[in-house]
Amino acid sequence: MTTEQHSAIEAERHDPPHPTPIQYVKIAVVLAVLTGIEVALFYVGDVFGGLQTPMLLVLAALKFVIVVGWYMHLRFERSTAQRFFGTGFVIALFCYGIVLLAMGAFALSR
Protein backbone atom coordinates (compact mmCIF):
# COMPACT_ATOMS: atom_id res chain seq x y z
CA MET A 1 0.00 0.00 0.00
CA THR A 2 1.30 3.37 -0.87
CA THR A 3 1.12 6.44 1.27
CA GLU A 4 -1.78 7.75 -0.77
CA GLN A 5 -3.83 4.58 -0.51
CA HIS A 6 -3.15 4.42 3.16
CA SER A 7 -4.24 8.00 3.63
CA ALA A 8 -7.30 7.47 1.49
CA ILE A 9 -8.39 4.54 3.61
CA GLU A 10 -7.75 6.47 6.75
CA ALA A 11 -9.69 9.36 5.33
CA GLU A 12 -12.62 7.12 4.50
CA ARG A 13 -12.61 5.81 7.99
CA HIS A 14 -12.69 9.25 9.51
CA ASP A 15 -14.43 11.47 6.96
CA PRO A 16 -18.13 12.10 7.29
CA PRO A 17 -20.04 11.31 4.08
CA HIS A 18 -19.77 13.89 1.33
CA PRO A 19 -22.86 15.40 -0.30
CA THR A 20 -24.32 13.56 -3.28
CA PRO A 21 -24.10 14.89 -6.83
CA ILE A 22 -27.73 16.03 -6.68
CA GLN A 23 -27.02 18.01 -3.56
CA TYR A 24 -24.01 19.60 -5.22
CA VAL A 25 -26.21 20.67 -8.13
CA LYS A 26 -28.74 22.15 -5.75
CA ILE A 27 -25.96 24.14 -4.10
CA ALA A 28 -24.89 25.36 -7.52
CA VAL A 29 -28.42 26.55 -8.20
CA VAL A 30 -28.38 28.49 -4.93
CA LEU A 31 -25.07 30.08 -5.91
CA ALA A 32 -26.44 31.03 -9.32
CA VAL A 33 -29.54 32.57 -7.77
CA LEU A 34 -27.46 34.58 -5.32
CA THR A 35 -25.34 35.84 -8.18
CA GLY A 36 -28.47 36.80 -10.05
CA ILE A 37 -29.75 38.77 -7.07
CA GLU A 38 -26.40 40.52 -6.82
CA VAL A 39 -26.48 41.60 -10.43
CA ALA A 40 -30.07 42.75 -10.06
CA LEU A 41 -29.07 44.74 -6.98
CA PHE A 42 -26.34 46.37 -9.00
CA TYR A 43 -28.87 47.71 -11.43
CA VAL A 44 -31.82 48.59 -9.21
CA GLY A 45 -30.20 48.67 -5.80
CA ASP A 46 -30.15 52.44 -5.61
CA VAL A 47 -33.61 52.24 -4.12
CA PHE A 48 -31.99 50.83 -1.00
CA GLY A 49 -29.65 53.78 -0.74
CA GLY A 50 -26.89 53.17 1.72
CA LEU A 51 -28.00 49.61 2.22
CA GLN A 52 -27.03 48.52 -1.29
CA THR A 53 -23.39 47.97 -0.44
CA PRO A 54 -23.97 45.96 2.75
CA MET A 55 -26.52 43.83 0.92
CA LEU A 56 -24.06 43.07 -1.84
CA LEU A 57 -21.43 42.20 0.73
CA VAL A 58 -23.80 39.87 2.53
CA LEU A 59 -24.64 38.09 -0.70
CA ALA A 60 -20.98 37.70 -1.55
CA ALA A 61 -20.27 36.44 1.94
CA LEU A 62 -23.01 33.86 1.60
CA LYS A 63 -21.60 32.55 -1.66
CA PHE A 64 -18.14 32.51 -0.09
CA VAL A 65 -19.28 30.51 2.91
CA ILE A 66 -21.25 28.07 0.79
CA VAL A 67 -18.35 27.28 -1.52
CA VAL A 68 -15.89 27.03 1.37
CA GLY A 69 -18.19 25.03 3.59
CA TRP A 70 -19.66 22.59 1.14
CA TYR A 71 -17.54 22.50 -2.00
CA MET A 72 -14.28 22.72 -0.12
CA HIS A 73 -15.95 20.60 2.52
CA LEU A 74 -14.38 22.69 5.26
CA ARG A 75 -17.51 22.58 7.36
CA PHE A 76 -16.92 18.89 7.87
CA GLU A 77 -13.16 18.91 7.84
CA ARG A 78 -11.00 18.47 10.90
CA SER A 79 -10.51 21.58 12.97
CA THR A 80 -6.83 21.93 12.10
CA ALA A 81 -7.64 22.63 8.48
CA GLN A 82 -10.37 25.05 9.53
CA ARG A 83 -7.91 26.88 11.73
CA PHE A 84 -5.21 27.17 9.08
CA PHE A 85 -7.64 28.53 6.55
CA GLY A 86 -9.57 30.66 8.99
CA THR A 87 -6.50 32.24 10.55
CA GLY A 88 -5.28 33.46 7.16
CA PHE A 89 -8.68 34.93 6.48
CA VAL A 90 -8.92 36.67 9.85
CA ILE A 91 -5.41 38.10 9.69
CA ALA A 92 -6.06 39.40 6.18
CA LEU A 93 -9.33 41.00 7.18
CA PHE A 94 -7.82 42.59 10.26
CA CYS A 95 -4.57 43.88 8.81
CA TYR A 96 -5.91 45.13 5.52
CA GLY A 97 -8.97 46.54 7.21
CA ILE A 98 -6.75 48.67 9.39
CA VAL A 99 -4.55 49.73 6.50
CA LEU A 100 -7.61 50.84 4.53
CA LEU A 101 -8.96 52.64 7.56
CA ALA A 102 -5.65 54.35 8.22
CA MET A 103 -5.28 55.38 4.59
CA GLY A 104 -8.74 56.85 4.33
CA ALA A 105 -10.31 54.38 1.94
CA PHE A 106 -13.47 54.47 3.96
CA ALA A 107 -13.47 58.27 3.99
CA LEU A 108 -14.00 58.33 7.72
CA SER A 109 -11.07 60.28 9.04
CA ARG A 110 -10.01 62.24 6.01
Partner 1 sequence: MTATAERPASTIFQRPTSHTGVWSWITTVDHKRIGILYGYSAFIFMIIGGLEALLLRIHLASANSEFLSAGEYNAMFTMHGTTMVFLFVMPMSAAFFNYLLPLMIGARDVAFPRLNALSYWIFLFGGIFLYSSFLFGSGLPPLGTENVPGNLDAATSGGFLANSPDGGWFCYQPNCGPFYSPGTAMDYWALGVQILGLASLISAVNFIVTVFNMRAKGMRLLRMPVFVWMTLVVAFLLLFALPIIAIALFMVMFDRQFGTLFFAASQGGDPILWQHLFWLFGHPEVYVLILPAMGIVSEVLPVFSRKPLFGYAAVVFAGASIGFLGFGVWAHHMFSSGITPVAQAAFGISTMTIAIPTGIKIFNWVGTMWLGKIRLTTPMLFSIGFVALFVIGGLSGVTHAIVPSDWQQTDTYYIVAHFHYVLFGGSIFGLFSGVYYWFPKLTGRMLSERLGKLHFWLMFIGMNLTFGPMHWLGLQGMIRRTWKYAPETGLEPWNRAVSVGAFMIATSIAIFMYNWWTSKRRGQPAGLDPWDARTLEWSIPSPVPEYNFAKVPVVHSLDDFWHRKYDEDENGRAVRKPDADELIARLEHEGNNPSSPIHLPNPSYFPIIMASGIPTTFYGIIYHTTAWGKALIAVGAVVVLSALIGWGMEPLEEPHDAPHDTPHDTAAAH
Partner 2 sequence: MTDLAHAPEHHDEHESTGIDNRKLGMWAFLGSEFLFFGALISNYLLYQGRKGFPGPYPADIYDIPFTSISSFVLLMSSLTMVLAHNAMSRHDRNGTKTWLLATAMLGSVFLGGQVFEFTEFITEHGMKTTTNPAASAFYVLTGFHGTHVAIGVIMLLSLWGIARRGSLSDRHGLNVELVGLYWHFVDIIWIVIFTVVYLIR
Interacting residues toward partner 2 by CB under 8 A = 2, 4-8, 10-11, 14, 18, 20-21, 24-25, 27-28, 31-32, 35, 38-39, 41-43, 53, 56-57, 59-60, 63-64, 67-68, 71-72, 77-78, 80-81, 84-89, 91-93, 95-96, 99-100, 103, 105, 107
Residue 57's contacts (CB-CB under 8 Å, 6 or more residues apart) are none
Of 8, 22, 18, residue with least CA distance to 77? 18
If one asks whether residue 91 binds partner 1 (CB under 8 A), the answer comes out as yes
Of 64, 73, 68, 82, residue with least CA distance to 18? 73
